[in-house]
Chains A and B, each alone.
Chain A
């Protein structure tokens, strides 16, 4: 198995029965592969089936057609190899921070002693910067802290890949920024393969190596895969000064505003197995208004 196809989505479709008879396809014939250690971000409007794709990757949902292969094996149901960070953090409210992370650790290593489980959980609680809050319950934590616990829980089982379903959309802008920094740091440090869903263009630009553009559903397709032209060592503070930043950003916004709707009608001869890879470059200079002489 090659590293180029660590994760391979092969022709998956999801259809729901129609009240009028027949069925509506949310998406059909979807092909996508990801490299090991790559951070991919899917961006698209609500209802295009992003979450369904993620749930299929997680094994929580089944495709109506096609298969997903991870590390050479077709996935069948959920697995400890693929950790999910839920949008709503999904912490168990009757357990403490330690209890929530330890629940995951002891699920992976069933014969570990309590001390071993605690040690492993502590390591990841420290990693997300929650040292000292181990014995708090989720109700005593802020939204950002809860999501940190969610991240610690996902990482603590050392998964082959992480799946994130709009993990920061319920947070305020400042907390979101801090957590994005943390996630970027952790992913770079651990070389984690990550698949994330987002609505937030800047989040995608900051975090992702590849940004996958998905058209509107029903019948959604992958329109383009954008390679992030920004350097790997980009920082939040000066990312918007990079010469390629606005070219990339404008490209994504243009897609979301207009092309995501018209893509299906305007583009013909599309090969779903080979989604075009695009590397947006410098924005074209444009004169907005001529100064009066």
Chain B
């Protein structure tokens, strides 16, 4: 039953894809040669005017270009012409770097807030004010103080990945079932051992959910951050190709950003499933 549902869903998905590609193809194909145009004028105007071709690339153009990228993802022809694989590598490295620092800060701090009502109340106003700030608003301040665009981008990832993890960890730790804590108390389990053997496993699903939200936000923000700082990365690639008026490459970049984002999310989803326990 479930199997037949998956098959039917796959059929619908593929049909939608074909419908979309077909519509795209029809919308962007040429309308045929325009009549009565001198060859010299035609050469000057290009295919858009002479063949009635849309400036928007069709699925076949994008497919051909994508194949080129897949064949040599790691070429490096100077600062303005690097393979899409290299650009992705830079972006992923920045995201992971900022994200790991955010994990290292958010989880211990979240434990502190979750376990101590005093710290929870004391830090609450700061969290409430800092949380809604767009991470990109930090960029000028980061550039001015850090004086390095790459580190600034990492800082922006850190600051945007911090909040969901911090809030989920604090919530997960504070919401650990009273009876589990009481079990540990009656067994005279000390604070540190209790944190690792009872509270951490009990709060892990909530913490991992926060980490999953954070990696999604970090991947959203890196594109914008790299458009600002420039130099390398998939965000820079998008902006550079826009300046080159290569809509084909922009479309490919959008597709690749989506794919990488999905993979990152799925990795965290798998970790979340690993620590989730049935009750």
Contact = CB atoms under 8 A, between A and B. Distances in A.
Interface of A: 58-60, 77-80, 82-84, 86, 88, 90, 92-94, 103-104, 107-108, 137-139, 157
A90 B198 CA distance: 12
A190 B108 CA distance: 44
A80 B187 contact: yes
A interface, over-half SS: loop
A60 B186 contact: yes
Nearest to B183: A90
16 contacts: A58-B186, A59-B186, A78-B185, A80-B187, A86-B183, A88-B179, A90-B177, A90-B182, A90-B183, A92-B183, A92-B198, A92-B201, A104-B187, A139-B277, A139-B278, A157-B187
B interface, over-half SS: helix
Name which of A80, A92, A93, A137 has the most chain B CB atoms within 10 A of its CB: A92
B145 to A, nearest CB: 43
B271 to A, nearest CB: 15
A60 B182 contact: yes
B251 to A, nearest CB: 45
Interface string B204-233: 000000000000000000000000000000
Contacts of B189: 107
Interface in B220-279: 275, 277-279
Name which of B197, B202, B275 has the most chain A CB atoms within 10 A of its CB: B197
A93 B277 contact: yes
A285 B256 CA distance: 90
A104 B189 CA distance: 9
A157 B189 CA distance: 13
Instruction: Determine the interface band of chain B, counting residues with CB < 8 A from chain A.
Output: 10 to 19
Name which of B185, B187, B202 has the most chain A CB atoms within 10 A of its CB: B187
A103 B187 contact: yes
Given A137-B278, A139-B278, A139-B279, A92 B180 contact: yes
Given A107-B187, A108-B187, A84 B182 contact: yes
Contacts of B278: 93, 137, 139
A82 B277 contact: no
B277 A86 contact: no
A174 to B, nearest CB: 24
Contacts of A58: 186
B40 interface: no
A93 B195 CA distance: 16
Name which of A58, A82, A103, A108 has the most chain B CB atoms within 10 A of its CB: A103
Contacts of B177: 90
Nearest to B182: A60
Interface string B185-203: 1111100000001100110
Contacts of B201: 92, 94
Contacts of B180: 90, 92
Given A78-B187, A157-B187, 14 more contacts: A59-B185, A80-B186, A84-B182, A84-B183, A86-B182, A88-B179, A90-B177, A90-B183, A92-B180, A94-B277, A107-B187, A137-B277, A138-B279, A139-B279
Interface in B130-180: 177, 179-180
Nearest to B185: A78
